[in-house]
Amino acid sequence: MRRTVLILAAVLAVPSCSITEERDGCLCRLTVELSEAADVHSGEEMRFTLWNDSGELEKEEVFLSEGRRNMLRHIPKGTVELSAVTGLRSGIYEDSRILVPEGQAADSIFAYHSVIDAGGETARDTIRLAKQYSAIDIQMSGWIPGYGISIRGDYCGLSLEGMKPLRGKFSARAQMISDGFFRTFVPRQGDTGLELVLDFEGKHVKVFPVGKIIGKSMDWTKTDLDDFYILIDFALAKIDITIRGWETGSEREVSF
Q: What is the pLDDT of residues 62-71, one digit of tens each?
A: 999 977 789 9
The DSSP annotation for 152-204 comes to EEEEEEEETTTTEEEEEEEEEEPEEEETTEEEEEEEPPSSS--EEEEEETTEE
What is the predicted pLDDT for the residue at 19? 42
Q: Is 201 exposed, middle or buried (0-12, 13-18, 19+ CB in 10 A)?
A: exposed
**Cβ-based neighbours of 98, under 8 Å, separated by 6 or more:** 85, 88, 91, 92, 107, 109, 111, 132, 157, 158, 160, 187
* Residue 250 confidence (pLDDT): 62
Q: What is the pTM of this model?
A: 0.84
Which tens digit of pLDDT belongs to each residue from 157-215?
999 988 999 999 999 999 999 999 999 999 999 999 999 999 999 898 899 999 999 88
Domains defined for the chain, CATH in brackets: 2-130 (2.60.40), 133-255 (2.60.40.2630)
Task: Tell me how far CA of residue 212 lies from CA of 124, 158, 173, 189, 251, in angstroms.
Answer: 42, 21, 20, 12, 18
Q: Using alpha carbons only, how large is the chain's radius of gyration in Å?
A: 25
Query: Residue 106 CB: number of other CB atoms within 10 A?
Result: 26
Whether 152 and 191 have beta carbons less than 8 Å apart is answered as no
pLDDT, position 142: 85
**pLDDT at position 253:** 72
| CA dihedral for 188, 109, 113, 247, sign (positive or negative) | positive
> Can you say whether residue 150 is alpha, beta or left, with left for phi > 0 and alpha for psi between -120 and 50 degrees?
beta
The single-letter code of the amino acid at 29 is R
